[in-house]
Amino acid sequence: MPNSRKKLHREVSSDFLMRLPIFHGMSENEVLQFISSVHGYYASFDKGEFIGREGEMISGIGVLLNGMASVFKENAAGERHRMAVLNPGDIFGEVAVYTGEHWTASVMAEEPSSVLILPRPQLLHLNDSSGASAVFQINMVKLISRKALKLNQKLEILSMRSLRRKLIRLFQIERKSQKQNPLILPMNREELAEYLQVSRPALSRELTNMKQDRLIDFSRNKFYISDQLAEME
């Protein structure tokens, strides 16, 4: 983490903080008092700078306030596998904070970014069973549970043998989750190819084939899902 720490209220509005899922249900005063009570601080990162490195000691839960960051793991050959893209409002590091002391993956700023850090020692010793501390802990349970669900869904998708079956299952899950048609995939083509662990040309070919078969129609990341696809098993 950078050595410089800045006063949070100069960097981000309290209205923005109150809209974050991690602070859902808190008033403006409760949010600011909670951040102060756990010694939360603001840190800035340049493009290409590590916010956290796999295997290193973790300082706390991070909340991306602006910019963009990627979460990835690196193999022995130095090849990086991107696991997630973080956008403003996303949290990271929560699993390592509550289950161990080290980063389980690396986080790097993809553009100039700012992060709210909630230090680990204070989070592990929240004594207030009511008020903002209780609300925060409930929110954390919900957020971690949602991430676990998304991970299980990804494992289910990747277990499909063909690329078409992977795409079909992905579209079915997203349609059910978003409750709308057309649906918006929160990934561009490159990110979708990484998510499905296929090449981008192979992904583009299969999407075109599915469009020709009238299973889907699409424009950029907006997809119309046919009833036939929605009912496939």
| pLDDT tens string 67-93 | 999 999 888 888 888 888 899 999 999
Question: Closest Cα partner for 123 from 136, 141, 110?
Answer: 136
The letter for the amino acid at 126 is L
Q: What is the CATH number of the domain that holds 167?
A: 1.10.10.10
Within this chain, do residues 38 and 146 fall inside the same structural domain, yes or no? yes
Query: What count of other Cβ atoms lies within 10 Å of the Cβ of residue 150?
Result: 13
User: Residue 147 and residue 152: Cα distance in Å, rounded?
Assistant: 9
Q: Which structural domain, as residue segments, surrounds residue 53?
A: 8-152
Tell whether 20 and 135 lie within a shared domain. Answer: yes
Question: Do the domain assignments include residue 112?
Answer: yes
Same domain for 209 and 115: no
The total of structural domains in the chain comes to: 2
> Is position 2 within any domain?
no
Other beta carbons within 10 Å of 149: 11
Alpha helices in 70-218 (DSSP H): 94-99, 120-123, 131-158, 163-178, 189-196, 200-212
- Least Cα distance to 137 among 32, 36, 8, 24 occurs for 24
Query: Average pLDDT in the 92-100 region?
Result: 87
Average pLDDT for 60-70? 94
Average of per-residue pLDDT across 178-184: 91
pTM: 0.76
58: left (phi over 0), alpha (psi -120 to 50) or beta: beta
Per-residue model confidence (pLDDT) at position 186: 82
Domain CATH code at residue 65: 2.60.120.10
